[in-house]
Each structure stands twice: as structure tokens, then as C-alpha cells.
Amino acid sequence: MNNLSPKRNLFEELTDKAQLKQKVYSNTLDTFGLLNLAMNSIVEDYRNFQKKNKETVPFELKPKGDFELELKFAGDVLIFLMHTNVFEFSRNHEVMKTSYVKEDKERSYCGVINIFNFLADSFKYNRLNDVGYLIGRVFVNKDMHYFIEGKREIGLLYNNFNTAVMNETSAREIVESAIRYTINFDLLTPPYENVKEITLYEMRSTLDSITLKTGKRLGFKFQADKD
């Protein structure tokens, strides 16, 4: 019997961790679904606005698979990409210092949904060298609590891990904040020194193979943006 005890404890540990991660994954997938619903609702609201104001600015949602959503508006694209694995915050992360996590370490295990911003023309002209930016990361744990790391509007509003619960309202707020940030995140001219030279091949290449990069902060340090 003594020989069986360690094995039984090992298997309990294995199943407990697996069940925890499965719960986190399920909650993250549910959150991704809520974000999808929020985007559909916002697109519908824009269509109603468009009818009254006769605007022609594009605003559309394109599901790209089970774990990717593409929201296009004006000259921008937001991509919401859910990672299929479960992560834990590093020991030095601020989340690990909260009483919420200290009371139950399992709360630090989270699924992640990344939010990227690209230029719409990067997709339209297949400019594979163009640069996109990670503007936010949504973390969801076993309790359906969420935490966001991100730029300005996105990151500053949603950092109360102990009280922030993911639901339809919070999902819509996240999407709207991402859109607002993107609207105000303008395309800047790259420094002259970065683009003053071009090869004949690059000049004659078609748009889909040109190697000149385009990005909203190309040549600048994105980290210099004030949060």
C-alpha cells in the first residue's frame, strides 16, 4: 500500500492541474465568444448610424477561425487572437502581489487573448513586411475574473483583477476601448534617414512584394508612447 500512495498523489496533482487549466481554457473561450458578440453588436449599431448619416466608412467583422476575429474600420484592422494555452504570471508581476492571488494561487493561471492593430492596406495590398502592434492582452482566470495589460485607454481601465468579472458589458467596453485607442493611434511619417535609400528592385516590385515597411510608429520606439 505504501508503494501506491506516492503514485496516487502524483495522479491527483496531475488531474487537479489539468482540470484547472481546462476550466481556464473554457472561460477564455467563453470570453472570446463574448468579444465576438460585442463586435457584432457594435457593427450593427454602426449600420444603424450609417443609415441615418449616410456614411460610407467601412466597419465590418470577419471571423477568421475558431480563435481569431478581424474587426475592420476605416483604415485600421483590429485582430483579436486567442491563445489556446494557459499561462501563469511571473513571480515579479504586480498581479502576484495582490491579496486576491495570494489567497488562492490558482487564480494566477490565465488564458490570453491578444489584441493587435494593423493597417487595413497591409491586408488589402498583401504587404507582408508591414508592422502591426500589440495594443492589449486580456487575461482570464478560473473565476472568470479578468485583467488587461495594454496601452492607454485599454490598460488603465481594467486592472482590478480581484473585482473585474468578464460579462457582456465588460466585453463591449474592452472592444470599444480598443477601437478608441486605435482611432487616436495615428500613422506617423518615418524618419527621413530610415527611408532615403531604395533599390531598383524595390522600386520596380509590385505592391505585394515591396520590402518597404509601413507601420504607425515605424522608426520610432513604440514603448515611448505615454500610457
Residue 204 in any domain: the answer is no
For residue 137, the surrounding DSSP H or E stretch is strand 133-140
DSSP 8-state class, residue 161: T
Q: Is 113 in contact with 138 (CB distance < 8 Å)?
A: yes
pLDDT of residue 215: 56
Residue 162 in any domain: the answer is yes
Q: Is the pLDDT of residue 3 over 70?
A: no
* Angle formed by the axes of helices 4-53 and 168-184, nearest 10°: 60
Residue 58 in any domain: the answer is yes
Q: Is 170 in contact with 146 (CB distance < 8 Å)?
A: yes
pTM above 0.85, yes or no: no
How many independent structural domains does the chain possess?
1
pLDDT of residue 101: 94
pLDDT tens digit sequence for 146-162: 999 887 666 554 568 89
Q: Is the pLDDT of residue 122 over 70?
A: yes
- The range of the structural domain enclosing residue 58 comes to 4-186
Cell of 146: 479578468
Q: Is the pLDDT of residue 175 over 90?
A: yes
Q: Is the pLDDT of residue 222 over 50?
A: no
